[in-house]
Structure 1
Amino acid sequence: MTDTPPDRLSNDPRSPFHDPAVLERGIGIRFNGAEKTNVEEYCISEGWVRLPVGKSLDRRGNPMTMKHKGQVEAYYLTAASDAE
């Protein structure tokens, strides 16, 4: 594994950008300089994150999300040697 997180990652298992190994290792997100712990999906190259809107759910029971644009920085919470 490398020390650079993927450009795009999603928590939703149905998404093509879902990677359980990366999520298990732990990803931290800094959005516009503030730590975010409730990010559902992010894309560094396009500069956006999807955040849940309150506690509302869609008809399938998934959280309603809203896309916010800005500066996105992703980092691993654990070192590569600790994850093995």
Structure 2
Amino acid sequence: MNDKTQAPALPDHLCIDPSSPHHVAAVFEHDIGIRFNDKERFDVEEYCISEGWVKVPAGKTLDRKGRPLLIKIKGKVEAFYK
């Protein structure tokens, strides 16, 4: 880490939506990277390391509240600070 502040440990389950119970604001003060099946992904909305899945937008499709419709993809998930 190049920052002088210590980053909190990355949780097992994290979501970027502030209304989600899995949203941790302190984590988003730092740059986070997600590696899915050994390739870095930049479109991950939510992940769970222990269950091995990520949620990503399904194209340009929106749900009834105007948010992107998400699909769950299973595989090997790694979260890290950039």
Task: Calculate the TM-score normalised by the size of structure 2.
Answer: 0.87
* 3-state DSSP of counterpart to 1:39: coil
Q: Which amino acid aligns with 2:43?
A: N
4+ runs of 1 displaced by more than 2 Å?
A: 1-4
**Which of 41, 56, 60 is matched with 1:36 structurally?**
41
Query: Shift in Å at residue 48 of structure 1?
Result: 0.3
**Equivalent residue for 1:13, pick from 10, 18, 37:** 18
Q: What is the total number of aligned residue pairs between the two structures?
A: 77
Shift of 1:26: 1.9
In the alignment, the residues of structure 1 paired with residue 17 and residue 53 of structure 2 have an alpha-carbon distance, to the nearest angstrom, of 16
CA 1:34–1:48: 2 relative to 1, 3 Å: same
Give the match for residue 49 of structure 1.
54
Q: Provide the rounded CA distance (Å) in 1 between the counterparts of 2:61 and 2:28.
A: 24
What is the aligned partner in structure 2 of residue 70 from structure 1?
75
> Which residues of structure 2 form unaligned runs of 5+?
1-5
**Secondary structure of the corresponding residue to residue 17 of structure 2:** coil
Q: How many percent identity over aligned positions?
A: 57
Alignment correspondent of 1:81: none
2:65 to 35, 60, 67: 60
Asked if the contact 1:47–1:69 (Cα under 8 Å) also holds between the matched residues in 2, the reply is yes
Amino acid at match of 2:41: K
SS in 1 for 2:26: helix
Name the CA distance, whole Å, in 2 between partners of 1:2 and 1:13. Answer: 19
Shift of 1:56: 1.1
